[in-house]
Amino acid sequence: MKDLTIRNLSKTYFDPYVGTNVTAVHDVSLKVEQGEFVCIVGPSGCGKTTILNMIAGFIPHTGGEILVGGRPVKGPGPDRGVVFQSFALFPWRTVLENVAFGPKMRGVRKVEREKIAHEYLALAKLTEAAGRYPAELSGGMQQRVGVVRALANEPDVLLMDEPFASVDAQTRMTLQEELTRIWQEKRPTVIFITHDVAEAVFLANRVVALSKGRVLDDIAVDLPRPRSWDALNDDARFKELSGRVLQLVRSA
Amino acid sequence: MLWRLSSALWFCAPFVVLLILWAVFIPYFDVNPRLFPHLSSVIQAGIEGIKDGTLIQHIGASLLRVAVGTVLALLIAIPLGIAMGVSPIISSFLTPLFRFFSVLAGIAWIPIATLWFGYGFGAITFVIFNAVFFIVTYNTLLGVSTIPLQVRNAAASLGAGRWAMLTEVLLPGALPNIVTGIRTGLGFAWRGLIAAEMIATNVGLGYMLFVARDFYRTEVIVLGMIVIGVLWLLLDRLVLAPIERATIERWGMVQRA
Ligand SMILES: Nc1ncnc2c1ncn2[C@@H]1O[C@H](COP(=O)(O)OP(=O)(O)O)[C@@H](O)[C@H]1O
Ligand SMILES: [Mg+2]
């Protein structure tokens, strides 16, 4: 695990429909410490996915710099694990093989990498599903696989782009609780993107509010862990923090 | 298992009815054997053809051409289709072209094939090659372009290099389309084969049919037709369809029909 530094990051797209340049990300600076869980929250279209895709190396940035453990990002790489809203599992691979994919790419031998995969599947209570194919699982189960697939590769930074947005509300709450539990156990550096203020406050150590491609403010979340919805639903501090973030996001 | 057996029996049932009607009505109406043969004489012709080896020879020649033409076509079509599919610009540029040739592929190539390769193995294999090549290339191209960008991104951020991307993502991701392409292409190839063999060779099932006509040997003609149909059904049902089922449906990449 390493820290992540973003300095004066910007991104300008050429919009072929309008025929002009559109700046989706303006001069964003952010430092994420090793083992920290940061949520970036903002309304849709504010540039969240663009930021994440640049950190992941899927798209080039047009200004500033991104450093992981001090080294600049050039293209995608195993030091940055990604969890996608669309899950993006390999449909032709079993759950076990999906999770073992990263270690396989590192050249870990079959017996060893399956051991690793089983370990991570157990962490997400997926042991039963090891031999199934993704298409045979529910959305919630698929995203559990998506999360442990990224974790099993032991990335320095885990990047998550609205990973729970396409599962039902009940499952989402379970997944959020499980994620905080897994995070406490493994302590990865996480950047989690969401438009859901409550989700951001529930998960994070720190919430970064984004609007129109700019960072508005940075709010520390000092809620105790382990966190559960049962405990936090009526928690005064949780309500206060959520209220502040919401106000911030809406004020812009 | 029992279900598979009963569905196989059900598949055969209409053919059995057809055979019974044939065995009963052709003798009953005393049909001229120069117009349509008795079932018994077709069976006779089949037994003779196996005994003297001619039938086996014709079948062997036809299958060899299909095998060679298909394997050559796949060896080129799949890598080419993947290479083209990686670039969205190239793939959308070439798609209309390959669509056009997919439709054209088949017996339309016979005249030019005989000019290029002369009569015989080369020309016929070329026809098979064309039937499979264009459809499989087009389908591979299509298959690669349907792999979601996020799935490729996922592989890249898990550490997949170029080679792993090819073997672990692009190839399996395109496989459903490739298999469908092979199945369709072979269907065209098989029809094209018979037509080509009537024109451009002196051995093979198509040739066997065509020559028998000159001698009014309807029992050989009908035998040939049955063999052609049965071979295709066996190939399709016992080889191609199970491959499609075993992988693709389980992966959930195509909807169950
Ligand atoms: N490939 C692209 N080409 C042009 N404009 C884009 C592209 N991707 C995103 N944008 C624009 O950039 C802005 C931010 O988009 P995005 O990062 O997807 O926001 P979010 O994830 O917060 O919803 C939007 O205005 C969007 O229209
Ligand atoms: Mg987004």
CA distance A27 to A9: 5
- Name the CA dihedral angle for A41, A42, A43, A48, rounded to a multiple of 10 degrees: -80
In chain B, whose CA is at the least distance from the CA of A159?
B157
Q: Are A6 and A66 in contact (CB under 8 A)?
A: yes
Interface of A with B in 134-163 (CB under 8 A): 134-136, 149-150, 153
Nearest chain A residue to B248 by CA: give it.
A92
Side-chain-side CA neighbours of residue A161 (13 Å): 22
With the C-alpha atoms ordered A54, A58, A63, A66, is the resulting torsion angle positive or negative? Answer: positive
Structure tokens at B58: 């014709």
DSSP string covering chain B: -HHHHHHHHHHHHHHHHHHHHHHHHHHHTT--TTTS--HHHHHHHHHHHHHSSHHHHHHHHHHHHHHHHHHHHHHHHHHHHHHHHHSHHHHHHHHHHHHHHHHHTTGGGHHHHHHHH-SSHHHHHHHHHHHHHHHHHHHHHHHHHTS-HHHHHHHHHTT--HHHIIIIIIHHHHHHHHHHHHHHHHHHHHHHHHHHHHHH-SSSHHHHHHHHHHTT-HHHHHHHHHHHHHHHHHIIIIIIHHHIIIIIIHHTSS---
What does the domain layout of chain B look like in residue ranges? Answer: 47-251
Tell me how far apart the alpha carbons of residues A249 and A244 are, in angstroms, rounded to a whole number: 9
For residue B108, what are its two tokens?
Answer: 């339309």
A3 and A32 Cβ atoms separated by less than 8 Å = yes
CB contact under 8 A, A56 and B160: no
CATH architecture type of domain B47-251: Orthogonal Bundle (1.10)
pLDDT given for residue A1 in this prediction: 62
- Mean pLDDT of the residues in chain A: 94
* CB-based contact B157 A77, cutoff 8 Å: yes
pLDDT digits (tens, 9 = 90+) for A77-117: 999 999 999 999 999 999 999 999 999 999 999 999 999 99
**The predicted structure's pLDDT at residue B256:** 38
Output the pLDDT for position B34.
Answer: 86
Q: Which amino acid is present at B116?
A: W
Phi first, then psi, for residue A190 (nearest 5°) are -125, 135
> Residue A77: which region, alpha, beta or left (left: phi > 0; alpha: psi -120 to 50)?
beta
How confident is residue B253, by pLDDT bands cut at 50, 70 and 90? low
| Residue type at A219 in one-letter notation | I
Structure confidence at residue B233 (pLDDT):
92
Asked if B169 is an interface residue toward chain A (Cβ–Cβ < 8 A), one would say: yes
Q: pLDDT band at A183, cuts 50/70/90?
A: very high
Span A60-75, mean pLDDT?
94
Distance CA A133, CA A130 (A): 8
pLDDT of residue A148: 95
How far is B196 from B248, CA to CA, in rounded Å?
A: 33
Looking at residue B123, what is its pLDDT?
Answer: 92
pLDDT exceeds cutoff 80 at B226: yes
Is residue B251 over pLDDT 90?
no
The predicted pLDDT at position B249 comes to 72
C-alpha B104/C-alpha B98 separation (Å) is 10
Q: What is the pLDDT of residue B255?
A: 41
Which one has a higher pLDDT value, A240 or B3?
A240
pLDDT of residue B51: 93
| Mean pLDDT for the stretch of residues B3-27 | 89
Return mean pLDDT, chain B.
Answer: 89
Is there a cis peptide before residue A226, judged by omega within 30 degrees of 0? yes
Query: What SS3 state is found at B9?
Result: helix
Q: What is the predicted pLDDT for the residue at B66?
A: 94
What does the DSSP 8-state code read for residue A77? -
Averaged pLDDT, B209-218: 89
Residues B185-199: pLDDT tens digits?
999 899 889 989 988
Q: What is the mean pLDDT of residues A138-161?
A: 96
Minimum CA–CA partner of A107 in chain B: B159
Task: Please compute the mean of the pLDDT values over residues B11-20 and round it to a whole number.
Answer: 90
Please calculate the CA angle B4-B8-B12 and round it to the nearest 5 degrees.
170
Over residues A189-238, the pLDDT tens digits come to 999 999 999 999 999 999 999 999 999 999 999 999 999 999 998 999 99
Beta strand A189-194 with A80-83 is: unpaired
Q: Tell me which amino acid residue A225 is.
A: R
Q: Is the CB of A88 under 6 A from ligand 1?
A: no
Q: Which tokens in the block code for residue B45?
A: 């012709």
For residues B171 and B74, is the Cβ–Cβ distance under 8 A? no
Mutating to test ligand 1, I would choose from A11, A18, A22, A54 the residue with most ligand atoms within 8 A of its C-beta, which is A22
Task: Determine the distance in angstroms separating the CA of A242 from the nearest CA of chain B, rounded to an integer.
Answer: 31
Residue with tokens 């959308």: B92
**The pTM is what?**
0.86
**What is the per-residue pLDDT for B93?**
87
User: pLDDT tens, B87-128?
Assistant: 888 888 888 888 888 778 677 888 899 999 988 899 999 999
- A153 interaction partners in chain B (CB closer than 8 Å): 158-159
What distance in Å separates the CA atoms of residue A213 and residue A206, rounded to the nearest whole number?
Answer: 18
Is the pLDDT assigned to residue B13 strictly greater than 60? yes
Is B69:B126 a contact under the CB 8 Å cutoff? yes
Cβ atoms within 10 Å, residue A16: 7
